[in-house]
Structure 1
Amino acid sequence: MFKHILVPLDGSHFAEMALPYARVLSEKFNAKLTLACVVETPIIFGDEFVATANLQAAARETALAETHAYLMSKQGEMRQLGYDVDFKLVEGRLVAEQIIELACLVAADVIVMSTHGRSGIGRWLLGSVADKVLRQANVPVLLIRAQEEQEPLTWRTEQPVDEPVPEPAA
């Protein structure tokens, strides 16, 4: 059913709560995993921001290097556990759109990601990358609500019973 799973991460503990679910799907369907991070590109205006532009360029390079190291570390951890995993580091302004484009680029069958579960004014003010991905992606999206205390992941499947079920007495 799923051959390729995209797992967007942002370096946070909450985002990584999607990893156990992605691993279960990978095991169940023998699917490849692609871990992804989007580093947001800063917007720079006019000549008066030249000094700021230099600082932003240095910050960008640092962010790219740190994110690359983070993804390599996660990839190494997953490979040690026996998973077929690679990673993609993307740079851009609109994180949700970058994730959706990346899903198409790597031919992902499903996106597995965490959501902070904001609602109301918090969601309106901050927006929701997960919500945008869910609404705009062309592939299924499995959203994991990140919580401080995460329940242990269990996978339950129904097994058929060979014995016939007795008919009720009349």
Structure 2
Amino acid sequence: MYRHILVPLDGSAFAEQALPHVRSLVMVSPDPVDVYLVSVAPMLQDRSVTMVSLYPFYIAQDHLEMARRELEQLEHDLRTYLAQVATTVSEWGAACHTEVRFGSPAEEILAFAETIQADLIVMSTHGRSGINRVVFGSEAYKLLRMSTVPILLIRAREMVGAPNA
């Protein structure tokens, strides 16, 4: 059975469609299961060098401070989100851990999987194909190509609007 399950989440309802499958795995396991929720924020190209060369020092310093604050806010928001999901996962009887990382999503997910010695990665895919996958990339495809850990891919279903009140 799986004892260390890694679940990448990006805050979307699409990504969360993997959670019922994780719940099923946790509920049928005779052994304790640790679930690791990870969110990876892609790093945008560092524009610091460009800013310093184009603008006076005091403007560049303002830009760097603003970028630092935005990064801290993003990390706070991701940690808050993962903590909320972790509360639900813990109710299933699993020990739940959260991690926020910055960088290339596929690379960071694989590095974290190695760190925690994951038995399984469970994630949703947005189901992009053709030109959309070329333009937007496919983290799931990158993971499938690079991972030595088994991956359970859940094809996310189209989300329907909220029911009428």
d(CA) in 2 for partners of 1:42 and 1:118? 22
Q: Which runs of 5+ in 2 are unaligned?
A: 161-165
- Corresponding position of 2:8: 8
Measured against aligned partners, the alpha-carbon deviations of 1:55-97 in whole angstroms (never above 9, x if no partner) come to: 22221111000001011111112213322211111122x1100
Measured against aligned partners, the alpha-carbon deviations of 1:30-53 in whole angstroms (never above 9, x if no partner) come to: 422111111223322311372433
Measured against aligned partners, the alpha-carbon deviations of 1:118-153 in whole angstroms (never above 9, x if no partner) come to: 000000000001110111111100100001269xxx
Native 8 Å contact 2:37 2:96 kept in 1: yes
Native 8 Å contact 1:41 1:60 kept in 2: no
Native 8 Å contact 1:41 1:91 kept in 2: yes
Q: Quick one: higher RCO (CA 8 Å, sep 6+), 1 or 2?
A: 2
Write out the 4+ residue segments of structure 1 that deviate beyond 3 Å after TM superposition: none
- Corresponding position of 1:75: 86
| Aligned length, in residue pairs | 149
Q: Which runs of 5+ in 1 are unaligned?
A: 151-170
d(CA) in 2 for partners of 1:28 and 1:7? 17
Which residues in structure 2 correspond to 1:26-37 (within 5 Å)? 26-29=26-29, 30=31, 31-37=33-39
**1:108 aligns to 2:118 (yes or no):** yes
Shift of 1:102: 0.6
Return the TM-score normalized by structure 2. Answer: 0.83
Answer with 35-44 or 100-109: which moved more.
35-44
Q: Counterpart of 1:114 in 2: which secondary structure?
A: strand
Letter in 2 for 1:81: W
CA RMSD of aligned residues (A): 1.7
Native 8 Å contact 1:108 1:139 kept in 2: yes
Pick aligned residue for 2:148 from 117, 121, 138? 138
Compare CA radii of gyration and give the structure with the larger one.
Answer: 1
Native 8 Å contact 1:6 1:34 kept in 2: yes
d(CA) in 2 for partners of 1:28 and 1:134? 25
d(CA) in 2 for partners of 1:26 and 1:81? 7
d(CA) in 1 for partners of 2:15 and 2:84? 15
Native 8 Å contact 1:44 1:53 kept in 2: no
Letter in 2 for 1:16: E
- Corresponding position of 1:90: 101
Higher helix share: 2
Native 8 Å contact 1:2 1:109 kept in 2: yes
Letter in 2 for 1:82: G
